[in-house]
Amino acid sequence: MTKVFLCLMLVVAALSTGCTTRAWYEGVKQSAILHCEDIRDINERNRCIQQQPDYQDYQQQRQQLNKKE
């Protein structure tokens, strides 16, 4: 519960300061990784962490989606 609260506070703080898209993305990614760390099975935990794309991949996916609209 404390991890979730801390993550939410970090995201709120980042958004309220007008941070860059990259900083916002990294905060959300860190929150997702913290969620992955709660998984007990080591293989599932590692798979969860590895599924988190880096910022460059995220940007490419985002740009492709924007082009389709």
Q: What is the pLDDT at residue 41?
A: 97
Give Dmax (Cα) for the chain: 40
Phi, psi (deg, nearest 5) at residue 54: -75, 170
Report the alpha-carbon distance of residue 19 to residue 6 in Å, rounded. 18
pLDDT at 25 over 80: yes
CB 25 within 8 A of CB 55: yes
pLDDT in tens, 15-24: 655 567 888 8
Q: Comparing C-alpha atoms, which of 27, 26, 49 is closest to residue 37?
A: 49
pLDDT at 2 over 90: no
Helices (H), 38-54: 42-50
